[in-house]
Protein backbone atom coordinates (compact mmCIF):
# COMPACT_ATOMS: atom_id res chain seq x y z
CA UNK A 1 0.00 0.00 0.00
CA UNK A 2 1.35 3.42 -0.93
CA UNK A 3 2.14 5.89 1.83
CA UNK A 4 -0.52 8.64 1.70
CA UNK A 5 2.09 11.16 2.85
CA UNK A 6 4.67 10.36 0.16
CA UNK A 7 3.44 13.18 -2.11
CA UNK A 8 3.81 15.65 0.78
CA UNK A 9 7.40 14.52 1.32
CA UNK A 10 8.18 14.95 -2.37
CA UNK A 11 6.63 18.43 -2.32
CA UNK A 12 8.51 19.33 0.85
CA UNK A 13 11.78 18.21 -0.75
CA UNK A 14 10.95 20.57 -3.63
CA UNK A 15 10.58 23.43 -1.15
CA UNK A 16 6.77 23.56 -1.04
CA UNK A 17 5.89 25.35 2.21
CA UNK A 18 2.24 24.28 1.95
CA UNK A 19 3.35 20.64 2.11
CA UNK A 20 5.14 21.34 5.38
CA UNK A 21 2.05 23.09 6.76
CA UNK A 22 -0.06 20.05 5.78
CA UNK A 23 2.32 17.67 7.54
CA UNK A 24 2.32 19.84 10.65
CA UNK A 25 -1.48 20.06 10.71
CA UNK A 26 -1.80 16.31 10.29
CA UNK A 27 0.85 15.18 12.77
CA UNK A 28 1.60 17.92 15.28
CA UNK A 29 -1.14 16.95 17.79
CA UNK A 30 -0.22 13.27 17.46
CA UNK A 31 3.49 13.96 17.96
CA UNK A 32 2.73 16.16 20.96
CA UNK A 33 0.53 13.48 22.54
CA UNK A 34 3.29 10.89 22.13
CA UNK A 35 6.02 13.29 23.27
CA UNK A 36 4.13 13.80 26.53
CA UNK A 37 4.65 10.09 27.23
CA UNK A 38 8.41 10.44 26.74
CA UNK A 39 9.26 13.56 28.72
CA UNK A 40 8.33 14.88 32.16
CA UNK A 41 6.19 17.88 31.19
CA UNK A 42 4.06 19.37 28.43
CA UNK A 43 6.51 22.26 28.06
CA UNK A 44 9.37 19.87 27.38
CA UNK A 45 7.12 17.87 25.04
CA UNK A 46 6.35 21.02 23.04
CA UNK A 47 10.07 21.77 22.76
CA UNK A 48 10.79 18.22 21.61
CA UNK A 49 8.07 18.43 18.96
CA UNK A 50 9.40 21.78 17.72
CA UNK A 51 12.87 20.25 17.56
CA UNK A 52 11.38 17.30 15.68
CA UNK A 53 9.90 19.60 13.04
CA UNK A 54 13.27 21.35 12.66
CA UNK A 55 14.87 17.94 12.25
CA UNK A 56 12.32 17.00 9.61
CA UNK A 57 12.99 20.15 7.58
CA UNK A 58 16.76 19.69 7.83
CA UNK A 59 16.66 15.95 7.21
CA UNK A 60 13.90 15.57 4.63
CA UNK A 61 16.44 14.78 1.92
CA UNK A 62 17.72 11.84 4.00
CA UNK A 63 14.29 10.20 4.25
CA UNK A 64 14.55 7.05 2.13
CA UNK A 65 10.96 5.87 2.36
CA UNK A 66 11.84 2.52 4.00
CA UNK A 67 9.12 3.23 6.56
CA UNK A 68 5.97 5.29 6.40
CA UNK A 69 6.30 9.05 6.87
CA UNK A 70 4.33 8.71 10.11
CA UNK A 71 6.76 6.12 11.51
CA UNK A 72 9.71 8.26 10.42
CA UNK A 73 8.24 11.29 12.21
CA UNK A 74 7.78 9.26 15.40
CA UNK A 75 11.34 7.96 15.07
CA UNK A 76 12.73 11.50 14.75
CA UNK A 77 10.64 12.49 17.79
CA UNK A 78 11.96 9.60 19.90
CA UNK A 79 15.56 10.51 19.03
CA UNK A 80 14.95 14.16 19.92
CA UNK A 81 13.26 13.23 23.20
CA UNK A 82 16.10 10.91 24.17
CA UNK A 83 18.70 13.53 23.36
CA UNK A 84 16.75 15.87 25.66
CA UNK A 85 17.66 13.49 28.48
CA UNK A 86 14.26 11.93 28.94
CA UNK A 87 15.12 8.33 28.19
CA UNK A 88 13.03 5.73 30.02
CA UNK A 89 14.25 2.20 30.80
CA UNK A 90 13.65 -0.27 27.99
CA UNK A 91 12.38 -3.03 30.24
CA UNK A 92 10.13 -2.28 33.13
CA UNK A 93 10.22 -4.77 35.98
CA UNK A 94 6.77 -6.07 36.78
CA UNK A 95 5.48 -6.88 40.21
CA UNK A 96 2.74 -9.43 40.84
CA UNK A 97 0.09 -6.74 41.33
CA UNK A 98 0.77 -5.22 37.92
CA UNK A 99 1.15 -8.53 36.12
CA UNK A 100 -2.02 -10.11 37.48
CA UNK A 101 -4.10 -7.15 38.62
CA UNK A 102 -6.27 -9.68 40.43
CA UNK A 103 -7.87 -10.67 37.14
CA UNK A 104 -5.67 -13.52 36.02
CA UNK A 105 -4.91 -16.90 37.49
CA UNK A 106 -1.40 -18.33 37.48
CA UNK A 107 -2.19 -20.07 34.16
CA UNK A 108 -2.84 -16.65 32.52
CA UNK A 109 -6.57 -17.32 32.12
CA UNK A 110 -9.20 -14.90 33.37
CA UNK A 111 -9.89 -15.34 37.06
CA UNK A 112 -12.90 -13.07 36.63
CA UNK A 113 -13.91 -12.24 33.04
CA UNK A 114 -14.44 -8.55 32.26
CA UNK A 115 -17.93 -7.11 32.17
CA UNK A 116 -19.45 -6.86 28.71
CA UNK A 117 -19.46 -3.15 27.91
CA UNK A 118 -21.84 -3.36 24.99
CA UNK A 119 -24.65 -4.14 27.44
CA UNK A 120 -24.04 -0.81 29.18
CA UNK A 121 -22.90 1.38 26.34
CA UNK A 122 -26.24 2.16 24.82
CA UNK A 123 -25.64 5.58 23.39
CA UNK A 124 -23.01 7.57 21.60
CA UNK A 125 -22.86 9.92 24.57
CA UNK A 126 -21.72 7.13 26.88
CA UNK A 127 -19.25 5.92 24.24
CA UNK A 128 -17.82 9.44 23.93
CA UNK A 129 -17.50 9.63 27.72
CA UNK A 130 -15.62 6.32 27.72
CA UNK A 131 -13.25 7.56 25.00
CA UNK A 132 -12.58 10.68 27.04
CA UNK A 133 -12.06 8.45 30.06
CA UNK A 134 -9.39 6.45 28.25
CA UNK A 135 -7.44 9.62 27.45
CA UNK A 136 -7.91 10.97 30.96
CA UNK A 137 -6.59 7.83 32.66
CA UNK A 138 -3.47 7.50 30.48
CA UNK A 139 -1.39 9.78 32.74
CA UNK A 140 -2.00 7.31 35.58
CA UNK A 141 0.02 4.67 33.72
CA UNK A 142 3.78 4.16 34.01
CA UNK A 143 5.64 5.87 31.17
CA UNK A 144 6.47 2.71 29.22
CA UNK A 145 2.83 1.59 29.26
CA UNK A 146 1.66 5.06 28.14
CA UNK A 147 4.16 5.04 25.30
CA UNK A 148 3.16 1.62 23.98
CA UNK A 149 -0.57 2.25 24.35
CA UNK A 150 -0.33 5.66 22.69
CA UNK A 151 1.50 4.24 19.70
CA UNK A 152 -0.52 1.04 19.33
CA UNK A 153 -4.05 2.12 20.26
CA UNK A 154 -4.17 5.85 19.61
CA UNK A 155 -1.75 6.19 16.68
CA UNK A 156 -2.33 2.73 15.15
CA UNK A 157 1.40 2.03 14.84
CA UNK A 158 2.03 -1.67 14.30
CA UNK A 159 3.87 -3.83 16.85
CA UNK A 160 7.12 -4.07 14.86
CA UNK A 161 7.41 -0.31 14.42
CA UNK A 162 6.44 0.27 18.07
CA UNK A 163 9.23 -2.05 19.22
CA UNK A 164 11.68 -0.35 16.88
CA UNK A 165 10.69 3.16 17.98
CA UNK A 166 10.92 2.37 21.68
CA UNK A 167 13.83 -0.06 21.50
CA UNK A 168 11.94 -2.84 23.25
CA UNK A 169 11.39 -6.52 22.53
CA UNK A 170 8.19 -7.87 21.01
CA UNK A 171 7.43 -9.73 24.24
CA UNK A 172 7.96 -6.61 26.36
CA UNK A 173 5.73 -4.59 24.02
CA UNK A 174 2.97 -7.19 24.37
CA UNK A 175 3.23 -7.19 28.17
CA UNK A 176 3.25 -3.40 28.40
CA UNK A 177 0.26 -3.12 26.06
CA UNK A 178 -1.65 -5.78 27.98
CA UNK A 179 -0.94 -4.07 31.31
CA UNK A 180 -1.96 -0.67 29.96
CA UNK A 181 -5.19 -2.00 28.48
CA UNK A 182 -5.99 -3.90 31.68
CA UNK A 183 -5.42 -0.79 33.76
CA UNK A 184 -7.64 1.31 31.47
CA UNK A 185 -10.32 -1.34 31.58
CA UNK A 186 -10.22 -1.43 35.40
CA UNK A 187 -10.51 2.35 35.63
CA UNK A 188 -13.38 2.46 33.14
CA UNK A 189 -15.22 -0.40 34.84
CA UNK A 190 -15.25 1.66 38.03
CA UNK A 191 -16.62 4.63 36.06
CA UNK A 192 -19.32 2.45 34.46
CA UNK A 193 -20.42 1.14 37.83
CA UNK A 194 -20.85 4.73 39.04
CA UNK A 195 -23.04 5.69 36.10
What residue spans define the domains of the chain?
6-83, 96-194
Buried b / exposed e along 51-87 (16+ C-beta atoms within 10 A): bbbebbeeebeebeeebbbbbbbbebbbebbeebebe
Q: What is the CATH number of domain 96-194?
A: 1.10.10
Mind listing the pLDDT tens digit for each residue in 93-129? Answer: 444 444 445 666 666 666 666 555 555 555 555 666 6
Q: What is the pLDDT of residue 89?
A: 41
Nearest to residue 55, comparing CAs of 1, 85, 93, 12?
Answer: 12
Q: Which of 7-16, 59-68, 72-81, 184-193 has the lowest mean pLDDT?
A: 184-193
Give the C-alpha separation, 67 to 80, whole Å.
18
Confirm or reject CATH 1.10.287.3510 for domain 6-83, answering yes or no: no
Question: Could you tell me the pLDDT band of residue 29, with boundaries at 50, 70 and 90?
Answer: very high
Average confidence score pLDDT of the chain: 80
| % the chain with pLDDT above 70 | 75
Mind listing the pLDDT tens digit for each residue in 162-178? Answer: 999 999 999 999 999 99
Amino acid sequence: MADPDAALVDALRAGDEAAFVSLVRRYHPRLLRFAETLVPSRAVAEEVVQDTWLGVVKGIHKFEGRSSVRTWLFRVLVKRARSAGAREPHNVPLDDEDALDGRFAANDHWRRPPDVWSDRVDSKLVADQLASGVLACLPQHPAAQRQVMTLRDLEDVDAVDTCDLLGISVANQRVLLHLARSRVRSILEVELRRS
